[in-house]
């Protein structure tokens, strides 16, 4: 796994918040300009939505 910030990955890419096998997979969504945050949602549950800052560190390049 590789550690990067959320603003450096593209819209629609998969990521995890923790570097474990059991942590849920998230998908980066759109950028909300009014709140200056990125929308993301769980791979398994599209209704589980969350807005996070652009400098939040996430993990990419994993297999699931």
Decide if 1 contacts 17 (C-beta within 8 A): no
DSSP assignment, residue 10? P
- For 20-29, write each residue's pLDDT tens digit: 999 999 999 9
Whether the pLDDT of residue 64 is over 90: the answer is no
What pLDDT was estimated at residue 15? 97
Closest CA to 28 of 62, 58, 63, 1: 58
In percent, the amount of the chain with pLDDT more than 70 equals: 100
Question: What is the model's pLDDT at position 37?
Answer: 97
Domain housing 38:
2-60
The number of distinct structural domains making up the chain is: 1
């Amino acid at each position: 796994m590789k550690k990067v910030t959320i603003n450096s990955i593209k819209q629609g890419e998969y990521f995890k918040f923790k570097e474990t096998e059991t942590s849920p997979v998230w998908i980066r969504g759109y950028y909300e300009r009014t709140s200056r945050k990125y929308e993301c949602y769980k791979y398994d549950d599209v209704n589980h939505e969350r807005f996070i800052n652009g400098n939040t560190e996430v993990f990419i390049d994993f297999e699931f």
